Amino acid sequence: MRVWTLAAALATMALAQGLSAQPTYSTKITRTEFNIPHIQSDSWGGVGYGVAYAYAQDNFCMLAEEFATVAGTRSLHFGPENSSVLGFSAVDNVTSDVFYRSQINLEELRLGWDEQSATARELLDGYIAGYNRYLRDTGIENLPVACAGKRWARAIDRDDLVRLNQKQMLLASSLALAPGIASAAPPGAPEASQISFIFEPHEDEVLGSNGWAFGGDVTTDGKGLLIGNPHFPWEGPARFWQMHVTGPDGYDVMGVGIAGSPIPTLGFNKDVAWTHTVTAARHFTIYMLALSPDDPTVYLVDGQPVRMAKTEVIVPMPDGADPVTRTTYSTQFGPVVTMPGSPLAWSKGAAFAIRDANSGNQRAIDTWLGIGKAANVGEIEAAVTDRLGIPWVNTIAADRHGDALHADITAVPGVTSAMAQSCSTPFSSFVADKVTLLDGTRAMCDWRKGANSSVAGLLPASEQASRTRRDYVANSNDSYWVSNPREPYRQLSPILGDFEKALRLRSRSNFTETEAAIQAGKLDHDAAKALVFGNKSLAADMVVEPLLALCADREDLAEVCEVLGRWDRLFEKNSRGAFLFMAFWEKMRKSDELWQVPFDSNDPVNTPHTLATDGTKGTALIGALLSAAADIKETGIALDAPWGEVLTRRHGERRIALHGGPGVAGVLNMQRGRLIEDGIVPVHGSSYIQIVGFDEDGPVADAILTYSQTTDPASEHYSDQTELYSDKKWHRLPFAASEIEGQREGQTVLLAE
């Protein structure tokens, strides 16, 4: 609150003295309940200025650390021996610095800056100015304790912002392989033996989301209704932050963005609402390279030798220590990547390079501007189609006219079905579940550069999946194939995801619960709330009863089966036995022998099913159950502890009981946690949840930001919405001027420079 008061005082002084010249940036910030800022400006630069200032008030230290990270200075500021998250792996700071210093191509990104619209450039320049204004107003010594007086809490420029944007574009694509890029070294090199990295494609444990768009045929008022339930981190710069932005040209959008975003990237205006879910499409390809027998840094294309480009990376160290020098390697297909112990390891005969469709992507801001200005879902579809700027998420939208859209249209490699087949390698099938592996010995296997694509090398939107319906569309991170089980989609390029393959349990739960809700009657906000917070486990519904049948006459199973028998099969705060089932399911869920009835592509929602309990299969189930119970007892937590005593958000001495559970167990309200000494704390899951419909005046939106607006534990807004989420309460978002005034907290702040 001190910084807020200081900003207001400075603004008042400036106004009292009179501005001698027209300011470059001018904005108004009004805060409402739960510290949500409403930013108003007559210029796009002023919009970015206000958004950055308000964001910095809530999360400056987190964002400042991220700027240090993407600049490749973690070793300098936080020590080379410490670690950070790179992609989805914890790595030492030196590896992180090597990746960002070698793979963030500033020259390319600076050129890309000029290719954005004037509006986007104004927004981003304003964001830089607003961030720096907050730092000047506050003073480095007066920042929150996490970064007060730190050298890395510094002013930023365009290079910082384009680095951050590039990192966000790669977040759910090749960034997952970043450790293997930063550490790739030729066989025999001393550093090659130091690489330890395993790549796993994302599951609910890493990325997830649910999204529903209901059309007028199934809603009570005949208008569209949207549920957005993205599963994003509770920690770090990928956290969502709520904002309401009113700018030039009638732009009036409320929603959320992540660190560095000058506008909402999912949300609503008066006519449309949209959300995003991480798509199953693959946004990079791996190229297999044949190497010269004389030199493992020379590869062959169409029989001709090509030498890899070497980049010497110098990483500064703290306290005057000598810098660390590493070498990275790249090819015409992209940087070399290695995964020791897998078929994708750099050997004397073969190497592998990665090419990412989002490398250099600076089209996203203009795409989200287009979405925010849309008056119907057709205009949203046009926005994601025209620029191919959405990096790695589905777009799910509903409008006041009663139309519902699912557009799985993103920046994906220009790889058709025919090309994927003709350019496969002898190893492609062995890694097909993880990556798309292409033949790098032939130039013809480079991404297709068709004239019908708006971006050279990318798959045209016309060859990706998009549909508009009047009943509903939904996605829980499975492929385009099933967004409505009543009418599966036709087969498209394998680069877009699996076709006629088994769905995740969370997707199956989504369609099962959605169809049941529709059968119960037409949908409104209350029905949508019940759907998103049902906390049912599809795995439990299919597994617990046959599992309990194995308990008969087994004294060693008496205790655990009694707990499971009393469990309500939910992940509510008061559910007893949920922890035991979660621990058991984690041990068994990947078994190839779980089900008696196999997957049937004609019934993807209901198959596979029927737990296999005969013979050795039953023995394995019992063993897993006993092992899970033993693991829990070692933690000191009771087997029947209420779930809300196990899964909690810690705020000082307070523990906030949470609901929701593992997506891999078919829980829609997904929460994934980290086991600590006496329980679990959330790290990833339901984050910004919005339910948006429309009345005659505009949007009607209920929402929760599960982890609240700020990362500063000293703030009164560190956990206020977490308490709301804990009690399954919702916040009716203020959108109209009268609603904003009714929820206003404090004075409107005027900023200009």
- Comparing CA positions, the residue from 712, 498, 526 lying closest to residue 604 is 498
- Comparing CA positions, the residue from 334, 351, 342, 343 lying closest to residue 291 is 351
In the residue annotation, 209 being an active-site residue is answered as: yes
Cβ contact 724:704 at 8 Å: yes
SS3 531: helix
DSSP label at residue 574: T
Ramachandran area for residue 248 (φ above 0: left; ψ -120 to 50: alpha; else beta): beta
Q: What is the residue-wise DSSP string for 280-329?
A: SS--EEEEEEEEETTEEEEEEETTEEEEPEEEEEEE--STTPPPEEEEEE
- Comparing CA positions, the residue from 35, 274, 71, 28 lying closest to residue 158 is 71
One-letter amino acid for residue 607 of the chain: T
Catalytic one of 209, 261, 476, 726: 209
- Comparing CA positions, the residue from 369, 464, 469, 364 lying closest to residue 408 is 464
Q: Which two tokens stand for residue 117?
A: 């619209």
- Comparing CA positions, the residue from 86, 55, 82 lying closest to residue 70 is 86
Q: What is the 3-state secondary structure of 430-444? A: HCCCCCCEEECCCHH
Instruction: Report d(CA 396, CA 215) in Å as an integer.
Output: 12
One-letter amino acid for residue 552 of the chain: A
Paired sense of beta strands 284-292 and 437-439, if any: parallel
User: What are the beta bridge partners of residue 324?
Assistant: 315
Cβ contact 599:506 at 8 Å: no
Cβ contact 266:276 at 8 Å: yes
Q: Which two tokens stand for residue 498?
A: 């699996």
Cβ contact 628:698 at 8 Å: no
Cβ contact 372:319 at 8 Å: no
Instruction: Report d(CA 360, CA 721) in Å as an integer.
Output: 36
Instruction: Report d(CA 366, CA 387) in Å as an integer.
Output: 8
DSSP label at residue 121: H
Paired sense of beta strands 688-694 and 225-233, if any: antiparallel
Q: What is the residue-wise DSSP string for 374-411?
A: -SSHHHHHHHHHHH----SEEEEEEETTS-EEEEE---
Instruction: Report d(CA 695, CA 273) in Å as an integer.
Output: 13
- Mind telling me the catalytic residues? 209
